[in-house]
Amino acid sequence: MNLSPYFEAVDFELFQSQKKFSKNTLGYYIEKDTIKSHEKGPGKYTIVLIGVPNNRKTPNKGTSHAPEEIRKNLYQLSYFDTSVKIIDLGNLKSGKSENDVYFALRDVIDYLNEEGIITVIIGGGQDLSLGIARAFQNNPEFTMAIADARVDIKTTRETTDSTNFLTKILKENPGLFHLEMLGIQGHYVSPDILDYLKENTFDYHPLGRIRDDFSMTEPILRNSHFLSFDISCVRQSDAAGHFSPSPNGFYSEEACQIARYAGLSNRLTVFGLFEVNPAFDKSANTNALAAQIIWYFLEGTLHRRKEDPAINKEAFTRYYVEMETHGETLVFFHQPVTNRWWIEIAYGEGDSWIVACNESDYRRAITREVPEICLKYLRKTERQSK
């Protein structure tokens, strides 16, 4: 597939300071030529960066300028390993309508997924997640994670935009296996929406709960294929570049840690950073933070390990926990080197899921308390059988 027709050429000289990139910067090593990417073949690259200067379907007008401003900061950051081949394909063409952009994203992401390439989307409104989700429609285990202070679902009939894009995704993906909402703030989300998520066996993790145990975000992202990150989930004092920032939210360090967890996830193939608005970023702090968030995602991918008990159980320490009240035995897998955990959840006859979990789930099980993750996946079985 020739990717060149999908992209506008970008003058990458604009992202240099007064002198050329030093050999210690991302800007020096990142390939910046869509024609070369076609000539070399996709297998030559590990990660693809794509700018989407589009704000047609977001009230946060100004996000179309985000790719350029983020790149100015990103390319000045340090490089970490020349074995990681990264290419910036430039900016996705706008097309005649928003649907053109969604379908172009679908085609590009679908192709890159097939080639085993990780994709980073920079800029634009969060409604672009709709086009990305379409690339996973044939994946029966598609799990989407969203970092956002709000849940962008509306029950009324409205034109799809960044404030209700999730409504459209759920309609187009009725078999969406799982949805994880990270960092929502109760004062922005109605009880009806929370009830809707529960009824559909989707998970939401309020900001306060994550603060109580931040490590819970790691297995969530280890189970996810796509992370859609709305910069407005970061508190205003750390990221003011949004038309409606919140005084509460993730700290900048937490946002970078979430991105790194996403980078470490072997499952996760697409990371999108949306709603950065340079028009409201008077100090340019949000642009700098956005670049650092992306940097931590890229750095996380460098440390991915091929750990999967579903493929090779012998590489893990197994723990068997008898649940007397339920008459079942739970099997946990532990990787001593990375200290990561998985749980095997049986369903049907001879079928099971092996799902990333926390050590706390194992600790809960040995006290004869059924881990919540088991109950959640069993509810999914019941829902899918109806």
Domain boundary among the residues 302, 336, 359 is at: 302
| Burial class, 92, CB count within 10 angstroms (exposed 0-12 / middle 13-18 / buried 19+) | buried
Domain assignment present for 308: no
Domain boundary among the residues 302, 334, 349 is at: 302
**Residue bearing tokens 């090779």:** 312
What lies within 8 Å, CB to CB, of 329 at 6+ separation is 320, 321, 322, 323
State pTM to two decimals.
0.94
Regarding whether 156 and 87 lie in a shared domain, the answer is yes
Domain assignment present for 240: yes
List, in sequence order, every residue forming a beta bridge with 178; answer none if it has no partner: 143
Q: Would you state the pLDDT for residue 157?
A: 74
Domain residues for the domain of 193 are 4-302
Rounded CA-CA distance 385/364 in Å is: 28
Regarding whether 180 and 48 lie in a shared domain, the answer is yes
Regarding whether 73 and 220 lie in a shared domain, the answer is yes
Q: Would you state the pLDDT for residue 23?
A: 86
| Burial class, 155, CB count within 10 angstroms (exposed 0-12 / middle 13-18 / buried 19+) | exposed
Classify residue 225 by its DSSP letter.
Answer: S
Regarding whether 348 and 240 lie in a shared domain, the answer is no
Q: What are phi and psi of 91, to 5 degrees?
A: -105, 135
Regarding whether 295 and 324 lie in a shared domain, the answer is no
Domain boundary among the residues 252, 271, 302 is at: 302
- The residue type at 332: F
Regarding whether 321 and 206 lie in a shared domain, the answer is no
Q: Would you state the pLDDT for residue 257?
A: 98
Q: Which helix (H) or strand (E) element contains residue 171?
A: helix 165-172
User: Does residue 50 contact residue 121 with C-beta atoms inside 8 Å?
Assistant: yes
Query: Which SS3 state, helix, strand or coil, does residue 90 take?
Result: strand
- The residue type at 279: A
Regarding whether 244 and 365 lie in a shared domain, the answer is no
C-alpha distances (whole Å) from 378 to each of 137, 139, 196, 326 are: 22, 20, 18, 13
Regarding whether 142 and 94 lie in a shared domain, the answer is yes
Domain assignment present for 77: yes
Q: What are phi and psi of 199, to 5 degrees?
A: -60, -30
Domain assignment present for 28: yes
- Terminal Cα distance for the chain, rounded: 40
Q: What is the pLDDT of the chain when averaged over all its residues?
A: 91
User: Does residue 355 contact residue 346 with C-beta atoms inside 8 Å?
Assistant: no
In CATH, what number is assigned to the domain containing residue 11?
3.40.800.10
Spans in the chain with pLDDT lower than 50:
none
Report DSSP letters for 337-384, one per residue. Answer: TTTEEEEEEEETTTEEEEEEE-HHHHHHHTTTPPPHHHHHHHHHHHHH
Rounded CA-CA distance 104/99 in Å is: 8
Regarding whether 180 and 90 lie in a shared domain, the answer is yes
Rounded CA-CA distance 106/114 in Å is: 12
Domain assignment present for 335: yes
Domain assignment present for 346: yes
Regarding whether 154 and 200 lie in a shared domain, the answer is yes
Tally the domains of the chain: 2
Query: Which SS3 state, helix, strand or coil, does residue 126 take?
Result: helix
Regarding whether 376 and 265 lie in a shared domain, the answer is no
Domain assignment present for 307: no
Q: Which residue, among 242, 265, 238, has the nearest Cα to 254 in the 3D structure?
A: 238
Regarding whether 57 and 202 lie in a shared domain, the answer is yes
Report DSSP letters for 229-285, one per residue. Answer: EEGGGB-TTT---SSS--SSSB-HHHHHHHHHHHHH-SS--EEEEE---GGG-TTSH
